[in-house]
Structure formats: C-alpha cells, structure tokens
Homo-oligomer: A and B are copies of this chain.
C-alpha cells in the first residue's frame, strides 16, 4: 500500500477517515504506522496528499487527510483483455491498475472458457477491489472503469472505430507479429488502446477483425505468456518506450 486510497464518501465533515478491515491491518501490520505518522494518501478520482494517523485502536484507525495535490491524471493507455481464469483475472486487473490504465474492457474470445463469465470475479465489486489494490500499489488515485463485453465482434465493429476516431493507436498483441516498437516509436506519447488475448491467444480471425478495425498486430518479442504476465510485460514495454527518445 504505497497510497492509502479512500472513497469520497468515507471522508467526514472534519476531513477525517476511519480505516478498518484490510487497509487497517495493512497500516498497522505492514506499514507499522502509529499516531503521528503521516503517509501518502488520496481519494479515488480525487486529490492526493498525506494522511496523519491520529488514533489507532485494536480494530480501526482514524486518519486526518491533508490533500494538497491534484488527482492522478488519467493514464492514456486503455486495455482490452480477453477474460482469463477467475483468479488470473483478479491479478491481471490489479497489475493493470498498478501499471496505470485509463479504462479496461473485458471481452469474450474464441479461446475464453464460457464458464468464466459465470464467475463471481466478474462482479463489479470484486473487480473494483482488485483495481483498488493495484492503485494502492501503483500510487494512483485513477481507478479505471471496467466494462464487460460478452460478444467480441460487435464490440470490435461497433465500439472501437468510434474510439480510434478520437486519436489513439490501437494495438493487438499476437505472438509472431512485428515487435511493439515498430508500431510505437520511442518517445511517442500517443494514447493507446492495447488488446491482450486469452491463454492460447487470439485466433487468426479475431486478429483480422482487430486489424480490419484499425488495430496493428504487435508482439512483445517474448514467447507466449500467461495473461497477467503478458499484461505486465506489455504495459512495462509501453512505459519504457514512452520514456525513451
């Protein structure tokens, strides 16, 4: 927890917040915070700053917020992710939030097990818990929205063209495609929409649909990776390319 992240409605009129449960335990057991300590804090989609611990009991802590910094900007990478196994889903969205994405679309694909759509992990509250964990790690107040799309082709054909028309570069990760840097020059700050397939990959027809919709197929250069590792590897390579000139 590199940022104590609170919801706006948790803040009382005095600018204080009471933490119990997971965040409380992390505060005490991992960060070993005690009254008087000041830690990085922020409000979901709101300002950042510090939180001073003013009281710690056996089961909760009271913190006073001092929020004098602007909200984290919306990261200008959006992620399209074929729904992975339920446990991998939680880790993948957490990793995406930690590395910073503006928005997540969870999509169906030929190689997605249809049972995954019955999983409780697709419940918005479960997803939000994973996203918040990632934002706490990454230190960002930007908790991405997540949309679930049960039909891939209508999503590609009806929704993506409008989004690409606003300017971003669309990239679809596919082993054997040209490497990422052929589609995104070092130092480029262009907004991106990146699509990561299921375990086993997109089928060729799906890649073709993305490409017909204006996306460019790219690869990470590595072999095939599990979903969460692929998300981490892709977002990390994008971040590095943006830093370079």
- Mark A residues whose CB is within 8 Å of B: 2, 30, 91, 94-95, 98-100, 137-140, 179-181, 186, 200, 220-226, 228-230, 232-237, 239-241, 243-244
- Sample of 10 further A-B pairs with CB below 8 A, known A95-B226, A98-B222: A2-B223, A91-B228, A95-B225, A139-B223, A179-B240, A181-B244, A186-B186, A186-B244, A222-B239, A229-B229
**CB–CB A226/B94 < 8 A:** yes
Chain A binding site: helix, strand, loop or mixed by DSSP? Answer: helix
Q: Return 11 A-B CB contacts under 8 Å, by A number.
A: A2-B224, A95-B225, A98-B222, A139-B223, A179-B243, A181-B243, A181-B244, A220-B236, A220-B239, A220-B240, A237-B240
Considering only CB atoms, which chain B residue lies closest to A175 in the complex?
B2
CB < 8 Å neighbour of A100 from B30, B179, B200, B222: B222
Number of copies: 2
**CB–CB A222/B179 < 8 A:** no
**CB–CB A236/B237 < 8 A:** yes
**CB–CB B236/A91 < 8 A:** no
Q: Which of A233, A235, A244 has the most CB of B within 10 A?
A: A233
Considering only CB atoms, which chain B residue lies closest to A94 in the complex?
B226
Residues from chain B with a CB closer than 8 A to the CB of A244 are 181, 186, 244
Q: A186-B244, A237-B237, A240-B240 are in contact. Are A229 and B228 (CB under 8 A)?
A: yes
CB < 8 Å neighbour of A232 from B94, B181, B221, B233: B233
Q: A237-B237, A240-B181, A243-B179 are in contact. Are A232 and B225 (CB under 8 A)?
A: yes
Residues from chain B with a CB closer than 8 A to the CB of A99 are 222-223, 225, 229, 233
Q: A240-B181, A241-B240, A243-B181 are in contact. Are A98 and B140 (CB under 8 A)?
A: no
The minimal Cβ–Cβ distance linking A81 to chain B, given in whole angstroms, is 14
Q: Which of A223, A225, A244 has the most CB of B within 10 A?
A: A223
Considering only CB atoms, which chain B residue lies closest to A180 in the complex?
B240
CB < 8 Å neighbour of A240 from B94, B100, B200, B221: B221
The 6 closest A-B pairs by CB, nearest first: A138-B223, A233-B236, A232-B232, A229-B232, A95-B229, A139-B223
Q: A220-B236, A233-B233, A236-B237 are in contact. Are A137 and B243 (CB under 8 A)?
A: no
The minimal Cβ–Cβ distance linking A8 to chain B, given in whole angstroms, is 22
